[in-house]
C-alpha cells in the first residue's frame, strides 16, 4: 500500500518476494515503475483506493505492508475502519498487516522531539510539525534546495490504532517501537504494528470426545 516512489517495492523484490505495488496515484505508480525499471525490475502496479481495495485487487496475499506513516492520511474513522477491513480481507489465512505510524502520543502529550534515528525522507530533509492537536498534525518538510512543502495528517494514538485493528478482526497485534519490542525503546520516533490474521485451535475444558473449538487469540 502507498507505493510512492517504489523504494520498498524494489527492496522487497530484490529480497526475493513477489510484490504487488498499490497506490491511489497513477503518477506515483508511474514513477515507481520507472524506478523499478532502472534497477532491472518490472513492478506489478495497481491503482486502487484503500477503502475499496478488493474491487481492484483480485488476489490474496501473505502480507499487506503500509509504511511511511501513510495510514495517517485518512481523517475519517469510517475510512480508517473500511481500509483496515479491506486489508484484512486481502490477506490469506495466517497473513499479516505491517503498518507504521509516527509516535503521535509523544508529540501530543509532550511536544515534538526526534532523535532522528530512522529516516523516511533522507538525512538532508527536515520534517517538523507546524501545528498539532487531537485532530490535525501539520508537518513542514524542508529540502536541501530550501524548497518547503506541507503535509496534513491525522495524529493517530498508538492504543487507538491497535483497537481499530482488533475491532476489524485481527487476532494478534504486536507493536514495535523504532523496530524494537514496545517498551524496550524510550521515546521512539515511530511505532510499527504487526497485525495477524490467524486462529489457533484449542481443546476447551468442557470438551467431550476431543471436540475442538476455535478461539481467538488475545491481543498481545
In this structure, are residues 113 and 218 in contact, taking their beta carbons and an 8 Å threshold?
Answer: no
Domains and CATH numbers, the chain: 48-117+156-215 (3.40.50.150)
Contact between residue 141 and residue 126 where contact means Cβ atoms under 8 Å apart: yes
E strand intervals along the chain: 20-23, 44-47, 61-66, 91-102, 126-133, 136-142, 148-153, 172-177, 180-181, 190-196, 200-202, 213-215
Q: CA-CA distance, 71 to 139, in Å (whole number)?
A: 15
- Which cell is 64 given? 499487506
**Residue whose C-alpha cell is 494478534:** 172
Give the pLDDT of the chain (220 residues) as one tens digit per residue: 999 999 999 999 999 999 999 999 999 999 999 999 999 999 999 999 999 999 999 999 999 999 999 999 999 999 999 999 999 999 999 999 999 999 999 999 987 655 555 455 556 777 788 899 999 999 898 888 889 999 899 999 999 999 999 999 999 999 999 867 666 566 788 999 999 998 765 444 443 333 333 333 334 3
CB 48 within 8 A of CB 22: yes
The span from the CA of 65 to the CA of 99, in Å, is: 6
Amino acid at each position: 500500500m502507498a507505493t510512492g516512489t517504489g523504494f520498498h517495492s524494489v527492496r522487497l523484490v530484490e529480497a526475493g518476494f513477489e510484490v504487488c505495488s498499490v497506490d491511489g496515484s497513477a503518477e506515483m505508480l508511474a514513477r515507481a515503475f520507472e524506478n523499478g525499471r532502472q534497477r532491472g525490475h518490472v513492478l506489478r502496479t495497481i491503482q486502487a483506493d484503500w477503502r475499496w481495495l478488493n474491487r481492484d485487487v483480485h488476489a490474496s496475499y501473505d502480507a499487506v505492508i503500509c509504511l511511511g506513516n501513510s495510514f495517517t492520511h485518512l481523517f475519517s474513522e469510517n475510512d480508517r475502519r473500511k481500509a483496515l477491513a479491506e486489508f484484512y480481507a486481502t490477506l490469506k489465512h495466517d497473513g499479516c498487516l505491517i503498518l507504521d505510524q509516527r509516535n503521535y502520543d509523544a508529540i501530543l502529550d509532550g511536544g515534538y522531539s526526534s532523535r532522528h534515528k530512522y529516516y523516511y525522507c533522507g538525512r538532508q530533509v527536515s520534517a517538523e510539525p507546524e501545528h498539532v492537536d487531537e485532530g490535525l498534525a501539520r508537518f513542514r518538510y524542508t529540502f536541501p534546495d530550501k524548497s518547503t512543502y506541507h503535509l496534513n495528517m491525522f495524529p493517530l494514538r498508538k492504543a487507538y490504532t491497535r483497537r481499530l485493528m482488533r475491532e476489524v478482526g485481527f487476532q494478534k497485534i504486536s507493536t514495535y517501537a523504532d523496530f524494537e519490542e514496545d517498551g524496550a525503546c524510550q521515546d521512539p520516533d515511530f511505532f510499527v504494528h504487526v497485525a495477524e490474521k490467524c486462529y489457533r485451535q484449542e481443546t476447551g475444558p468442557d470438551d467431550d470426545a476431543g471436540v475442538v473449538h476455535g478461539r481467538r487469540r488475545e491481543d498481545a
